């Protein structure tokens, strides 16, 4: 076939594809797509502005400055915005923006909750502080992908919805935490506004990074939760020549070793991981207040009376949490001679379990993808996503985690964002929210998404 014919055919094919694509977009959706495309440079400029504000979780003033920078943007879209202080949990605060249905409750279809966070893992002392263009579509910087890029995707989608007059017929709430990277405790206070928002909504989108593996975008319907635990073992102490004897027994360190190795061999199950992050043992053993290390003293000829280990477990559901915690307690209870031990579990980040309602929301998103001429987004393996705030709202409403920007190197100085992910993910979010407003409020999404 002559090259000119190949060219004709590919142009023909392309225009047919674009035409069929356009066919799948109703006039409002076409406007949404155009509105997003018209904001690309503005979006990058706003991202640079946000990234240049240090907002490490413990930099409370920095997080508040991000909040103050975001608030006028939500107000300009007709949201009622308020800042909820979180002094009670020693954190910066939560941004809440509400846009109730202008036509009255229940008249705007699904009530949509959008969540995210304003903080990053990079504190003021971090050497990684600035936004930098690497090339025309990659930028690096603290929080570019986790998740200031996601905040930009959320606002770009909302601005498109405003300009296409969709927001005027929509019930949308936004809740942004200031401490996702190091949550304040108790969590029922730190996440109160998010949970409250979920109780008064019908579907939730979390704007953490949209997972992309080998160029394929994924939809996240589930993620595991995380719980920290601590085992403290005790035993007799004295001259080491008596170890294993009827008087002295095995000592605390052998007891701890027994426990950890039994965890290793007896706990494995699907979706479960259980890490041991720190072990201390000896004549004395002390973990520091931040649980980031500690001190231990001891001598080879003295049986150790004290041993401590701390770690986490990550589960896919609260049922799995209950089952595993019971198994761990039972293992801890089976002491070697002349020793004792106890295990404590601490406040947890819940799991977002896979369910048909979350899958129905992904199905609706994939209908949007098909209309946009984008490939289907497969379901991301829950093992591939760390714990996160979406789990708090997923207990109440169908929820997708990770609908924000895409990039790489999160939580490291190699963090980068693919700027071309902002428009495509903004279009997905804008069309998904629009289509949710066209579905009846209440009822099961899995029965409404055809
Ligand atoms: Zn994050």
The 10s digit of each residue's pLDDT in 376-434 is 999 999 999 999 999 999 999 999 999 999 999 999 999 999 999 999 999 999 999 99
Q: How far apart are CA 82 and CA 80, in angstroms?
A: 7
Nearest to 84 by CA among 62, 59, 101, 67: 67
Compute the distance from residue 117 Cα to the ligand 1 centre, in Å: 7
User: Whole-angstrom Cα distance, residue 439 to residue 426?
Assistant: 20
CA of 406 to the centre of ligand 1 (A): 12
Centre of ligand 1 from the C-alpha of residue 118, in Å: 9
**Residue 363 near residue 432 (C-beta atoms within 8 A):** no
Give per-residue pLDDT as tens, 76-104: 999 999 999 999 999 999 999 999 999 99
pTM: 0.89
* Cβ–Cβ under 8 Å, residues 153 and 405: yes
Q: Is the pLDDT of residue 8 over 90?
A: no
Whole-number Å distance, alpha carbon 114 to ligand 1 midpoint, is 14
Classify the C-alpha dihedral 11-12-16-19 as positive or negative. Answer: positive
**DSSP letter string, 1-36:** --HHHHHHHHHHHHHHHHHHHHHHS-HHHHHHHHHH
List beta partners, residue 230.
310, 344
Q: Cα(415) to centroid of ligand 1, in Å?
A: 12
Residue 116 Cα to ligand 1 midpoint, Å, equals 8
Which residues are CB-contacts of 50 (< 8 A; sequence separation ≥ 6)? 66, 69, 70, 143, 148, 151, 152
Residue 271 CA to ligand 1 centre (angstroms): 21
Average pLDDT over residues 351-365: 97
- Measured in Å, residue 211 CA sits from the centre of ligand 1 at 12
Per-residue pLDDT reduced to its tens digit, 150-167:
999 999 999 999 999 999
Distance, CA 106 to ligand 1 centroid (Å)? 32
Distance 91 CA to ligand 1 centre (A): 16
> Cβ neighbours of residue 299 under 8 Å, at least 6 residues apart?
283
Do residues 449 and 360 make contact, with C-beta atoms less than 8 angstroms apart?
Answer: yes
> How far away, in angstroms, is 223 Cα from ligand 1 center?
13
Q: How far is the CA of 56 from the centre of ligand 1 (A)?
A: 12
* pLDDT confidence of residue 26: 96
Task: Tell how far the Cα of 319 is from the centroid of ligand 1, in angstroms.
Answer: 25
Ion ligand 1 nearby residues (CB, 5 A):
146-147, 208
Instruction: Quickly state the pLDDT bin for 116 (edges 50, 70, 90).
Output: very high
Residue 185 Cα to ligand 1 middle (Å): 18
Instruction: Show the domains of the chain with their CATH numbers.
Output: 18-223+352-448 (3.40.630.10), 225-348 (3.30.70.360)
Q: What is the pLDDT of residues 18-61, one digit of tens each?
A: 555 555 799 999 999 999 999 999 999 999 999 999 999 999 99
Closest CA to 235 of 330, 326, 302, 327: 302
Ligand 1 center to 136 CA (angstroms) = 24
Cα(146) to centroid of ligand 1, in Å?
Answer: 5
- Separation of alpha carbons 206 and 105, rounded Å: 23
pLDDT tens track for 235-283: 999 999 999 999 999 999 999 999 999 999 999 999 999 999 999 999 9
Cα–Cα dist 445/238, whole Å: 65
Distance 147 CA to ligand 1 centre (A): 5
* Strands 339-345 vs 407-408: parallel, antiparallel or unpaired: unpaired
Give the distance (Å) from ligand 1 centre to CA of residue 252.
39
**Separation of CA 253 and ligand 1 centre (Å):** 37
CB-based contacts of 240, cutoff 8 Å, min separation 6: 300, 301, 302, 303
User: 389 C-alpha vs ligand 1 centroid, how far in Å?
Assistant: 9
Q: Which residues pair with 313 in a beta bridge?
A: 227, 274
126-154 pLDDT tens trace: 999 999 999 999 999 999 999 999 999 99
Q: Give the count of alpha carbons within 13 A of 254, CB side only.
A: 16
> How remote is the CA of residue 181 from the centroid of ligand 1, in Å?
6
Residues 309, 279: contact at Cβ < 8 Å?
yes
Q: Count CB atoms within 10 A of the CB of residue 220.
A: 28
CA 167–ligand 1 middle distance (angstroms): 26
Over residues 292-315, the pLDDT tens digits come to 899 999 999 999 999 999 999 999
Residues 6 or more apart whose Cβ sits within 8 Å of residue 26? none
Round the CA-based radius of gyration of the chain to a whole number and report it: 26
Q: Is 230's pLDDT higher than 60?
A: yes
- Helix, strand, or coil (residue 318): helix
What are the beta bridge partners of residue 114?
174, 205
Contact 377, 215 (CB under 8 A): no
Instruction: Please count the residues of the chain.
Output: 450
Residue 208 Cα, ligand 1 centroid: separation in angstroms?
Answer: 6
CA 242 – ligand 1 centroid, Å: 52
401 contacts: CB under 8 Å, gap ≥ 6: 206, 208, 220, 221, 222, 223, 352, 385, 388, 390, 391, 394
Distance 388 CA to ligand 1 centre (A): 7
Q: Find how far residue 177's CA is from the centre of its chain.
A: 11
Q: In angstroms, what is the span from residue 144 Cα to ligand 1's centroid?
A: 10
Of 143, 142, 161, which Cα lies nearest the Cα of 74?
Answer: 161
Do residues 249 and 338 make contact, with C-beta atoms less than 8 angstroms apart? Answer: yes
Q: How many angstroms separate the Cα of 324 from the Cα of each of 138, 230, 266, 268, 320?
A: 42, 14, 10, 9, 6
Closest CA to 116 of 61, 170, 181, 26: 181
What's residue 204's pLDDT? 98
In whole angstroms, give the CA distance from residue 174 to residue 160. 16
Question: Other CB atoms closer than 10 Å to residue 341's CB: what's the count?
Answer: 23
What number of helices (H) and strands (E) belong to the chain? 13, 20
Ligand 1 centroid to residue 145 C-alpha, Å? 8
Q: Do 32 and 161 touch, CB atoms closer than 8 A?
A: yes
How far does the centroid of ligand 1 lie from the alpha carbon of residue 377, in Å? Answer: 21
The alpha carbon of 188 and the centre of ligand 1 are apart by a number of angstroms equal to 19
Q: For residues 362 and 305, give the distance between their C-alpha atoms in angstroms, rounded to a whole number.
A: 54
How many angstroms separate the alpha carbon of residue 392 from the centre of ligand 1? 14
Closest CA to 85 of 93, 77, 76: 93
335: exposed, middle or buried (Cβ count in 10 Å: 0-12, 13-18, 19+): middle
């Amino acid at each position: 076939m002559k090259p000119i014919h190949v060219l004709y055919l590919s142009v023909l094919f392309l225009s047919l594809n674009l035409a069929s694509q356009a066919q799948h977009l109703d006039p409002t959706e076409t406007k949404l797509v155009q509105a997003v495309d018209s904001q690309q440079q503005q979006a990058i400029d706003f991202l640079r502005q946000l990234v240049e504000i240090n907002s490490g979780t413990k930099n409370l003033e920095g997080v508040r400055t991000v909040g103050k920078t975001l608030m006028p943007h939500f107000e300009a879209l007709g949201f009622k915005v308020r800042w909820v202080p979180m002094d009670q949990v020693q954190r910066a605060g939560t941004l809440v923006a509400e846009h109730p249905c202008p036509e009255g409750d229940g008249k705007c279809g699904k009530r949509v909750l959008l969540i995210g966070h304003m903080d990053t893992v990079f504190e003021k002392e971090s050497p990684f502080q600035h936004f930098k263009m690497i090339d025309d579509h990659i930028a690096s910087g603290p929080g570019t992908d986790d998740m200031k890029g996601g905040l930009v995707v959320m606002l770009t989608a909302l601005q498109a919805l405003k300009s296409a007059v969709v927001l005027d017929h929509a019930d949308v709430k936004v809740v942004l935490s200031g401490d996702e990277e190091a949550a304040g405790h108790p969590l029922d206070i730190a996440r109160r506004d998010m949970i409250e928002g979920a109780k008064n909504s019908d579907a939730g989108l979390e704007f953490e990074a949209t997972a992309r593996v080998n160029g394929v975008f994924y939809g996240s319907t589930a993620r595991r939760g995380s719980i920290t635990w601590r085992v403290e073992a005790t035993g007799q102490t004295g001259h080491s020549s008596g170890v294993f004897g009827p008087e002295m027994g095995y000592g605390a360190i052998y007891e701890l070793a027994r426990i950890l190795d039994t965890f290793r061999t007896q706990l494995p199950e699907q979706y479960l991981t259980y890490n041991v992050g720190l072990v201390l043992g000896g004549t004395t053993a002390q973990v520091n207040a931040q649980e980031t290390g500690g001190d231990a003293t001891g001598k080879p000829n003295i049986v150790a009376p004290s041993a401590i280990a701390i770690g986490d477990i990550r589960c896919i559901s609260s049922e799995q949490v209950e089952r595993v915690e019971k198994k761990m307690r039972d293992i801890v209870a089976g002491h070697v001679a002349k020793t004792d031990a106890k295990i404590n579990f601490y406040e947890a980040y819940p799991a977002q379990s896979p369910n048909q309602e979350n899958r129905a929301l992904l199905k609706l998103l994939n209908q949007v993808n098909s209309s946009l001429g984008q490939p289907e987004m497969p379901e991301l393996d829950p093992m591939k996503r760390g714990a996160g705030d979406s789990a708090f709202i997923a207990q109440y409403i169908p929820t997708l985690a990770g609908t924000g920007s895409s990039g790489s190197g999160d939580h490291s100085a190699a963090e980068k964002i693919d700027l071309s992910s902002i428009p495509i993910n903004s279009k997905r979010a804008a069309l998904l929210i629009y289509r949710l407003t066209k579905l009846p409020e209440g009822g099961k999404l899995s029965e409404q998404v055809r």
